[in-house]
């Protein structure tokens, strides 16, 4: 039987990539129950993701003990280290041990680095999260005004120019753009460091400066997308009745867009932002390599090349958690912001 | 739709034309390249563009034009294969969700959730640790990533169509869910899928470049635009040309595909504009 | 060649214009490609560990100097008994570990007992197996009893694997190393850097530097930019492909020296068709060594014809054993029963010299009909596949251990070479103390393995350092793994 579903909420949701239509509260559905259901889905998603990661990594070829001891180590040394690292327990014990540990906040001990993984991940998140936020803010600071300007100058050279710029921005690989940025702003002009990261507690200013260029590299394609979405959203609302009414009341088109259009263009933009956070987090993995930032992505990379199973799976699940949590929060925000949904839920 | 209508959209003509030209350039490399790309002659490396080597030679003395041709093919091939995975699995999933609803829909959405929770780079890392890096790794990583994208596009589009009269008529005529999905829903969301496919194709080419750049994608002696970019990265200050050629090729291909996507969207269904198809999905 | 260098020129011009000559009288920032997985050199093989800690944080009884010679370290002198089986070391007085505890003979005994213990995780345990007992004579005197003479014993004591650790701190050395060296560990920002500071109560001559920061930058382009921008002061080993950026730049000096890294085309001698000498000879003839050196090391590699370092006094030039000759290669292949060549896999670890050499060798082998499939892998997988399971046809790797020709006497080693003559010679070599005799035997082994074409012998890796022109005292050669800070200082 086909669901007889009201699809008006869908009109503002992009039908692709993470728009959570399925989770939208239906008319008369209490908000708390909705949140609870989403929370449950969120937890189930994480559990399944953890299972997938574990199964994949459990099959992993390569012996971490052999890696640590290297090319000329004796079999006896390798076997001794393997036992010491607890690689002999059965798979299901190791899986549930891992999950139970994480719930307690204990991520285990890194095989190669021999320190608590929880601390390692926390250190890296102190780079990756701010970097993602930086990219997010930069993409909004760049993308939204440009989108607004383009919408206001619709059809004029400024609009065309900006949209060509946006097309190019989407098309440039971010790692390549990052390198070009470094050459200009770090090597030639020496305004900013070429990379590396000073811990926040040591010098917050230096830490911030270290994130600007990688943030820009990450932000460029996202800003371009935002500019396009913003422009389209604004162009759309300007065709709608309330703008026409406003203009009839004597406002210019720009004024009408400023006063009424922006608020209505907010929903599609919010959806994109939620999506972008997830993509930015993933994008950091590549960009961290260009700027030698000690982020979560580089941690995973190193751990993979060192066959540090416990570290790879814990770091990966944290990354997955970050993505899933963002989607979850976007969902919640969405229900709070959309006036229609609020009315329905009241 | 007819061709004349399509041709009224200049961006579609330009974008599609350029993208096709690049794809053809890649396809030609299957049967002919100016020089074989495996042929390494260190003595003739770092030549600038000249009549013998139109785009010069790289750090191993390979002909850059041959590499670009072959690299373009790999990039397209990876992005296209990933697209086939995404469409082939995602669209049936989305249609099933719309047609059956209930538990099927729930399951499809949850599978999408889980898949979506893994960014493509993470999938690529996991696969690479298992099976080693390579084109296949990139195809799978990008392909898996494409699945929820198409599942959601298909489901969203199908739900919008499902409320229409002819679907109800079909149902009254006794058609089952599968028949409804195949006969009524699929044709009506085809344009939506095609437009999204163009976008995912361009994203796939960018993603392949990123994966090859971090060493998880295409491996020598094969080449891809991303791998060429990676190889030239450390030489950029000495031989910037080696990076500019593949970099610019990527940029041009992606722009062409995106322009084609915009044009297609306008041409196929003006209403799609409002559905806000986005590039954010990559 | 080099038609345009606009960016390099522009960057250089700007560097000169800004004249980056701010005083950094006593601190140094060194960029290194690999981050160590841990900081305990006695419990891991990674070269990256020694790069940071060797002779900086930790010291051994002896130390290796920049020419590869053995110098007194924590032991100020030693006596060797006539039979070569007893070594008596006199230790320096007044030495303390960085945590303030004193150093004496008990620490030496602890260190070696730990290396030789049943559950030892020392990567080079085998090197110290000749040690039968370590006896504490008095706090300043320690005596080693060997079960057999060992010509390399004093050298091996100077390795990073045998640095002296204290029982109080040894368990934490992986993350908080405590040694007796001139520099003490301050902090490790994982994924980013390790900071060392001068240890003021150091027993020996105080180094000029007060602080050293190791920054981990794996990407060559990024390291190039960091050097150009002055974010790092130097690196001990820079990718040769981009050296041209610094070669004519007065702000920098490029130090080209030798390493102990014999780069070989590792061949599975135990497997068809490589078990056939003619096939191995054919492959040796098919290798155009100079092209590989030019392509993979930009001319900085030194050709080798056997498994021996060219700068070593025992070195014998055997590069002419099987000169580049594709026709001879084809003839030998035909003789061995492969007139149309054969297919094989080439497993490549994640290092630039291997990946580049692999591509070039594949192209060269294709000319004689040998089709190679290149398989790139991470180190851990390479170690398991190639070294552990011997599941490979061919591989490319640099053997960076000094004087490691003894691996050819181990039939269980990954290239599966089983030659009783070599095994007997190696035993004699180990038990021989006389220099002239040792040289004769070492050269005989070099010749045998070269003629047997056990592996494809490609080149000795060069060390190519790039440093700020105002820095001095860096090691030009790398006779042992490490970036020794002891003599590094700024000059005006």
B45 phi-psi bin (left φ>0, alpha ψ -120 to 50, beta other) = beta
Nearest-by-Cβ selection for A5 from B129, B159, B275:
B159
Note whether C412 contacts A: Cβ–Cβ < 8 A. no
Question: Would you state the pLDDT for residue A241?
Answer: 67
* B contacts of A304 (beta carbons < 8 Å): 125, 128-129
Q: Does C86 touch chain A (CB under 8 A)?
A: no
Nearest to A66 among C190, C193, C383 (CB): C383
A154 is a domain residue: yes
Q: Chains B, C: CB contacts under 8 A, how many?
A: 81
- Average pLDDT, stretch A92-112? 82
Task: Give the residue among A292, A95, A13 at the shortest CA–CA distance from C218.
Answer: A292
Q: What CATH code is carried by the domain that includes residue A312? A: 1.10.3720.10
* pLDDT(C30) > 70: yes
The average pLDDT across C74-80 equals 95
Tokens of C275: 């078990």
In chain B, what residues touch C245 (CB-CB under 8 Å)?
Answer: 237-238
Q: What is the pLDDT of residue A77?
A: 73
Q: A163-196 burial string, b = 16+ CB within 10 Å, else e? A: beebbbbbbbbbbbbbbebbbebbbbebebbbbb
CA–CA gap between residue A327 and residue A315 (Å, rounded): 19
Alpha carbons A187 and C14: distance in angstroms, whole number: 9
Confirm if C457 and C306 have CB atoms less than 8 A apart.
yes
Range(s) within chain C of domains with CATH label 3.10.105.10: 258-462
∠B24-B27-B31 over CA atoms, to 5°? 130
CB nearest C384 (choices: A61, A120, A291) = A61
Residue A43 counted as domain residue = no
Reduced to 3 states (helix: H, G, I; strand: E, B; else coil), residue C466 is strand
Query: What pLDDT is recorded for position B38?
Result: 84
Do A92 and A128 share a domain, yes or no? no
Which chains are adjacent to chain C, needing at least 3 Cβ pairs under 8 Å? A, B
Q: Residue A147 pLDDT > 80, yes or no?
A: yes
- On whether residue A126 sits in a domain, the answer given is yes
Chain C environment of A294 (Cβ under 8 Å): 189-192
A52 within domain boundaries: no
Report the pLDDT averaged over residues A8-33: 44
* Mutation target vs B (from C237, C376, C466; most B CBs, 10 A cutoff): C376
| CATH architecture of the domain covering C258-462 | Roll (3.10)
Kindly report, residue by residue over C453-470, the tens digit of the pLDDT: 999 999 999 999 999 999
Between positions 313 and 352 of C, the ones with CB within 8 A of A are 350
Q: Look up residue B98 and give its two tokens.
A: 């719309």
Query: Minimal CA–CA distance to A95: which of A55, A36, A148?
Result: A55
A residues 305-324 closer than 8 Å to C (CB): 305-308
Is position A149 within any domain?
Answer: yes
Lowest mean pLDDT across A177-186, B3-12, C309-318, C343-352: B3-12
pLDDT band, residue C293 (cuts 50/70/90): very high
State the pLDDT at residue C216: 93
A220 and A87 belong to one structural domain: no
Q: Could you report how far apart the first and last alpha carbons of chain B are, in Å?
A: 29
Q: Give the per-residue pLDDT at A339.
A: 52
Task: Tell me whether residue C133 is exposed, middle or buried, using C-beta atoms within 10 angstroms of its C-beta: 0 to 12, 13 to 18, 19 or more.
Answer: middle
Q: Please, which residues bridge with residue C75 across strands?
A: C91
Question: CB-based contacts of C25: which residues, under 8 Å, 6+ apart?
Answer: C490
Q: Does B43 touch chain C (CB under 8 A)?
A: yes
Query: What pLDDT is stored for residue C301 in this prediction?
Result: 95
Query: Of the candidates C193, C208, C205, which has an alpha carbon nearest to the alpha carbon of residue C59?
Result: C205
Is the ipTM of this structure higher than 0.95? no
Interchain CB distance below 8 Å, A77 and C120: yes
Last residue of some domain: A74, A106, A138? A106
Alpha helices in A85-181 (DSSP H): 91-103, 117-152, 157-171, 174-181
Range of the domain at A81: 61-106
Indicate whether A288 and A310 sit together in one domain.
yes
CATH code that applies to domain C58-172: 3.90.76.10
Token pair of C123 as six digits = 């990567």
Distance CA C69, CA C329 (A): 41
- Name the residue among B43, B48, B221 with its Cβ closest to that of C362: B221
C44 exposure class (CB count in 10 Å sphere: 0-12, 13-18, 19+): buried
Any idea where the domains of chain B sit in the sequence? 75-269
Nearest Cα residue in chain B from A1: B100
Q: What is the mean pLDDT of residues A16-42?
A: 61
Cβ-Cβ pairs closer than 8 A, A with B, add up to 201
Instruction: Tell me how far apart the alpha carbons of residues C164 and C95 are, in angstroms, rounded to a whole number.
Output: 12
pLDDT at residue A12 above 60? no
Total residue count of chain B as it appears in this document: 282
How far is C46 from C39, CA to CA, in rounded Å? 10
**Cβ contacts of B183 within 8 Å, gap of 6 or more:** B170, B175
Assign A85 a pLDDT band (cuts: 50, 70, 90). Answer: low
Q: Which of B113, B206, B278 sits opposite A229 (nearest CB)?
A: B278
Same domain, A180 and A280: yes
Distance of CA C126 to the CA centre of its chain: 17
Confirm if C446 and C280 have CB atoms less than 8 A apart: no
Minimum mean pLDDT among A318-327, B158-167, C338-347: which range? Answer: B158-167
Whole-angstrom Cα distance, residue B193 to residue B195?
A: 5
Q: Name the residue among A20, A249, A40, A215 with its Cα closest to residue A135.
A: A215
Query: Do A56 and B126 count as a contact with CB atoms less than 8 A apart?
Result: yes
Q: Does C7 touch chain A (CB under 8 A)?
A: yes
Question: Residue C280 pLDDT more than 70?
Answer: yes
User: In this predicted model, what pLDDT tens digit does every residue of C430-440 receive, in sequence order?
Assistant: 888 788 999 99
- Give tens-digit pLDDT for C208-250: 999 999 999 988 999 999 999 999 999 999 999 999 999 989 9
Buried b (16+ CB within 10 A) or exposed e, C380-390: bbbbbbbbbee
To the nearest 10 degrees (0 to 180), the angle between helices C352-366 and C289-297 is 140
Residue C208 token pair? 């000029």
Q: What are the tokens at B189?
A: 């969301």
CB contact under 8 A, A285 and B122: yes
pLDDT band at A73 (very low <50, low <70, confident <90, very high): low
- Answer whether C456's CB lies under 8 Å from C262's CB: no
- Note whether residue A28 is domain-resident: no
Question: C305: how many CB neighbours lie within 10 A of its CB?
Answer: 24
Estimate the share of chain A in helix, then strand, then coil, as percent rounded to the nearest 5: 75, 0, 25
Residue C2: its pLDDT value, please? 43
Where does B75-269 sit in CATH, by number? 1.10.3720.10
Touching subunits for chain B (3+ Cβ pairs under 8 A): A, C
How much is the mean pLDDT over chain C? 91
Q: What is the pLDDT of residue C17?
A: 42
Q: Nearest CB to A171: which of B196, B255, B278?
A: B255
**A226 and A298, same structural domain?**
yes
- The phi, psi pair for B218, rounded to 5°, reads -55, 140
pLDDT, residue C43, reads 87
Q: Are residues A164 and A266 in the same domain?
A: yes
- Assess whether pLDDT exceeds 50 at residue A174: yes
Question: How is residue C58 written in tokens?
Answer: 């930790």
- Quick one: tokens of C196? 């060392």
Smallest Cβ distance to C175: which of A114, A124, A182?
A: A114
pLDDT above 60 for A346:
no
> C415 and C386 in contact (C-beta within 8 Å)?
no
Co-location of A101 and A125 in the same domain: no
Q: What is the pLDDT of residue C125?
A: 87
Considering only CB atoms, which chain A residues are within 8 Å of C119?
Answer: 80, 84
Q: How far is CA B74 from the centre of its chain?
A: 11
Report helix angle C220-228 to A262-290, nearest 10. Answer: 90
Quick one: A101 and A126 in the same domain? Answer: no
Mean pLDDT of C196-202: 96
The per-residue b/e assignment along A41-57, b for 16 or more CB within 10 angstroms, e otherwise, is: bbeebbebbbebbbebb
Which residues from chain B sit within 8 angstroms of residue C228, using beta carbons? 237
Q: Is the dihedral of CA A288, A293, A296, A299 positive or negative?
A: positive
As to burial, measured by CB atoms within 10 angstroms (0-12 exposed, 13-18 middle, 19+ buried), residue C329 is buried
Contacts for C449 with CB less than 8 Å, ≥ 6 apart? C306, C307, C405, C408, C417, C422, C455
Whole-number pLDDT of residue C235: 96
State what percent of residues in chain A have pLDDT above 70: 77
DSSP result, A89-113:
S-HHHHHHHHHHHHHTT---B-TTT
Query: Cα separation of C371 and A77, whole Å?
Result: 38
- A230: which residues sit within 8 A by CB, 6+ positions away? A143, A144, A146, A147, A148, A150, A151, A265, A269
Tell me the chain A residues in contact with residue C125 when contact means C-beta distances shorter than 8 Å: 73-74, 77
Q: Please name which of C261, C227, C199, C234 lies closest in space to residue C47, comparing C-alpha atoms.
A: C261
Is A47 inside any structural domain? no
Name B2's Cβ contacts closer than 8 Å, sequence gap at least 6: none
* Residue C12 confidence (pLDDT): 47
CB contact under 8 A, C175 and A70: no
Identify the helix (H) or strand (E) that includes residue C141. strand C141-146
Asked if residue A126 and residue A99 are part of one domain, the reply reads: no
In chain A, the number of structural domains is 2
d(CA C9, CA C17): 12
> What's A210's DSSP letter?
H
pLDDT for the residue numbered C284: 97
Residue with tokens 């390798």: A78
Q: Please state, rounded to an integer, the average pLDDT across all residues of chain A.
A: 78
Chain A CA closest to residue C39: A113
Q: Over the stretch C143-194, which tens digit does the pLDDT of each residue have?
A: 999 998 888 899 999 999 999 999 999 999 999 999 999 999 999 988 889 9
Nearest to A315 by CA among A345, A275, A288, A342: A288
* Residue C120, pLDDT score: 85
What is the mean pLDDT, run by run of 10 residues, along chain B of 282 residues?
Answer: 67 90 95 90 90 91 94 95 96 90 89 86 81 85 92 87 75 78 81 89 92 86 91 90 94 93 77 44 31
Question: Is residue C300 within 8 Å of residue C462, measured between CB atoms?
Answer: yes
Q: Is the peptide bond before C282 cis (omega within 30 degrees of 0)?
A: no
The Cα–Cα gap between B134 and B125 comes to 11
Q: What are phi and psi of A291, to 5 degrees?
A: -110, 15
CB neighbour class for B14 (10 Å; exposed up to 12, middle 13-18, buried from 19)? middle
Q: Report if residue A40 sits inside a domain.
A: no
C5-39+179-257+464-490: CATH topology: D-Maltodextrin-Binding Protein; domain 2 (3.40.190)
CA distances (Å), C311 to each of B195, B249, B279, C308, in order?
64, 47, 58, 9
CA distance A280 to B146: 17
Residue A101 and residue A128 in one domain: no
Res C1: pLDDT: 39
CB-based contact C319:C446 (threshold 8 Å): no
DSSP-derived secondary structure letter, C92: P
Alpha helices in C65-205 (DSSP H): 105-116, 153-157
* CB distance C457 to C262 below 8 Å: yes
- The DSSP annotation for C106-125 comes to HHHHHHHHHHHSTT---TTG
Q: Report the chain C residue with the minimal C-alpha distance to residue B37.
A: C363
Which pLDDT tens digit goes with each residue over C391-437?
999 999 999 888 889 999 999 999 999 999 999 999 999 888 788 99
CB distance B157 to B190 below 8 Å: no
Q: Which of B105, B72, B97 is nearest to B189 (CA)?
A: B97
Q: Which residues of A touch B281 (CB under 8 A)?
A: 16-18, 275
């Amino acid at each position: 039987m086909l669901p007889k579903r009201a699809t008006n909420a869908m009109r503002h949701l992009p039908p692709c990539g993470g728009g959570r239509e399925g989770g939208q509260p239906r008319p008369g559905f209490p908000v708390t129950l909705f949140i609870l259901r989403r929370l449950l889905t969120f937890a189930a998603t994480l559990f399944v993701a953890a299972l997938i990661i574990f199964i994949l990594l459990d099959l992993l070829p390569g012996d971490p003990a052999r890696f640590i001891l290297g090319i000329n180590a004796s079999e006896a040394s390798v076997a001794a280290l393997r036992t010491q690292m607890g690689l002999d327990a059965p798979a299901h014990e190791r899986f549930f041990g891992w999950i139970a540990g994480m719930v307690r906040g204990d991520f285990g001990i890194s095989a190669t680095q021999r320190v608590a993984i929880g601390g390692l991940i926390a250190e890296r998140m102190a780079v990756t999260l701010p970097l993602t936020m930086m990219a997010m803010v930069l993409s909004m600071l760049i993308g939204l005004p440009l989108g607004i300007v383009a919408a206001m100058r619709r059809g004029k050279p400024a609009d065309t120019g900006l949209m060509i710029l946006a097309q190019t921005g989407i098309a440039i690989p971010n790692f390549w753009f990052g390198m070009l940025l470094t050459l200009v702003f770090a090597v030639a002009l020496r305004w900013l460091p070429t990379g590396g990261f000073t811990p926040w507690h040591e010098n917050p200013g230096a830490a911030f400066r270290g994130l600007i260029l990688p943030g820009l590299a990450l932000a460029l394609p996202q800003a371009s997308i935002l500019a396009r979405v913003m422009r389209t959203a604004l162009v759309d609302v300007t065709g709608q009745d309330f703008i026409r009414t406003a203009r009839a009341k004597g406002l210019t088109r720009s004024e009408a867009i400023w006063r009424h259009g922006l608020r209505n263009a907010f929903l599609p933009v919010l959806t994109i932002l939620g999506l972008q956070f997830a993509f930015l987090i993933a994008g950091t993995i590549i960009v961290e390599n260009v700027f030698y930032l000690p982020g979560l992505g580089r941690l995973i990379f190193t751990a993979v090349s060192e066959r540090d199973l416990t570290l790879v799976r814990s770091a990966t699940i944290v990354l997955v958690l970050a993505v899933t949590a963002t989607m979850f929060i976007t969902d919640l925000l969405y229900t709070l912001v959309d006036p229609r949904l609020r009315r329905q839920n009241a | 739709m007819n061709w004349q209508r399509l041709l009224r959209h200049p961006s579609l003509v330009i974008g599609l034309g350029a993208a096709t030209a690049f794809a053809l350039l890649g396809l030609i490399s299957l049967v002919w390249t100016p020089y074989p790309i495996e042929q390494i002659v260190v003595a003739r490396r770092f030549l600038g563009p000249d009549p013998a080597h139109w785009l010069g030679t790289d750090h191993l003395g390979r002909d850059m034009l041959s590499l670009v041709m072959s690299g373009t093919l790999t990039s397209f091939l990876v992005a296209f294969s990933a697209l086939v995975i995404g469409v082939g699995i995602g669209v049936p999933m989305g249609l099933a969700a719309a047609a059956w609803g209930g538990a099927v829909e729930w399951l499809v959405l949850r599978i999408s959730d889980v898949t979506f929770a893994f960014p493509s780079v993470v999938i690529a890392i996991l696969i690479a640790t298992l099976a080693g890096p390579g084109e296949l790794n990139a195809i799978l990583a990008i392909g898996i990533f494409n699945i929820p994208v198409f599942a959601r596009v298909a489901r969203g589009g199908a739900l919008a169509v499902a409320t229409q009269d002819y679907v109800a008529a079909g149902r009254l005529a006794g058609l089952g869910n599968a028949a409804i999905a195949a006969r009524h829903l699929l044709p009506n969301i085809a344009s939506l899928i095609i437009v999204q496919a163009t976008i995912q194709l361009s994203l796939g080419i960018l993603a392949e470049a990123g994966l090859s750049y971090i060493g998880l994608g295409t491996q020598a002696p094969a080449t891809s635009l991303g791998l060429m970019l990676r190889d030239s990265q450390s030489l950029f200050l000495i031989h910037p040309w080696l990076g500019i050629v593949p970099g610019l090729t990527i940029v041009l291909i992606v722009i062409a595909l995106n322009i084609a996507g915009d044009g297609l969207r306008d041409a196929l269904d003006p209403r799609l504009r409002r559905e806000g198809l986005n590039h954010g999905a990559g | 060649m080099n038609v345009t260098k606009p960016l390099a020129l522009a960057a250089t011009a700007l560097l000169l214009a800004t004249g980056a000559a701010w005083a950094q009288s006593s601190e140094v920032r060194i960029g290194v490609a690999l981050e160590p997985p841990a900081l305990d050199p006695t419990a891991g093989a990674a070269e990256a560990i020694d790069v940071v800690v060797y002779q900086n944080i930790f010291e051994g009884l002896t130390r290796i100097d920049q020419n590869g010679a053995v110098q007194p370290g924590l032991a100020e002198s030693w006596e060797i008994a006539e039979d070569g089986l007893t070594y008596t070391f006199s230790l320096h007085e007044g030495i303390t570990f960085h945590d303030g505890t004193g150093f004496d003979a008990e620490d030496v005994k602890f260190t070696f007992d730990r290396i030789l213990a049943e559950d030892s995780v020392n990567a080079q345990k085998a090197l110290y197996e000749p040690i039968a007992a370590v006896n504490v004579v008095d706090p300043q005197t320690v005596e080693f009893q060997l079960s057999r003479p060992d010509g390399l014993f004093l050298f091996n004591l100077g390795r990073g694997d045998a640095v002296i650790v204290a029982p109080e701190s040894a368990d934490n050395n992986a993350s908080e190393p405590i040694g007796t060296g001139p520099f003490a560990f301050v902090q490790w920002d994982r994924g980013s850097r390790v900071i060392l500071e001068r240890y003021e109560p150091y027993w020996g001559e105080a180094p000029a530097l007060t602080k050293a920061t190791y920054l981990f930058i794996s990407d060559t382009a990024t390291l190039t930019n960091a050097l150009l921008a002055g974010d790092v002061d130097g690196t001990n080993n820079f990718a040769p492909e981009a050296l041209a950026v610094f070669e004519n730049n007065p702000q920098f000096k490029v130090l080209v020296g030798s390493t102990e890294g014999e780069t070989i085309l590792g061949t599975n001698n135990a497997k068809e068709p490589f078990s056939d000498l003619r096939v191995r000879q054919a492959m040796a003839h098919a290798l155009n060594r100079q092209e590989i050196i030019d392509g993979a090391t930009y001319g900085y590699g030194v050709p080798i014809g056997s498994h021996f370092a060219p700068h070593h006094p025992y070195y014998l030039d055997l590069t002419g054993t099987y000169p580049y000759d594709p026709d001879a290669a084809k003839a030998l292949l035909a003789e061995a029963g492969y007139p149309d060549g054969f297919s094989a896999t080439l497993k490549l670890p994640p290092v630039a010299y291997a990946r580049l050499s692999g591509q070039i060798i594949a192209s060269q082998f294709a000319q004689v009909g040998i089709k190679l499939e290149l398989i790139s892998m991470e180190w851990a997988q390479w170690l398991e596949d190639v070294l552990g399971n011997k599941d490979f046809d061919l591989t490319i790797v640099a053997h960076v251990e000094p004087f490691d020709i003894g691996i050819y006497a181990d039939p269980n080693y990954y290239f599966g070479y089983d030659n009783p003559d070599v095994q007997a010679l190696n035993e004699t070599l180990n038990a021989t103390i006389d220099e002239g005799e040792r040289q004769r035997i070492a050269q005989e082994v070099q010749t045998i393995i070269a003629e047997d074409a056990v592996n494809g012998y490609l080149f000795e890796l060069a060390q190519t350092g790039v440093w700020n022109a105002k820095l001095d005292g860096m090691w030009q050669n790398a006779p042992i793994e490490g970036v020794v800070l002891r003599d590094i200082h700024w000059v005006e």
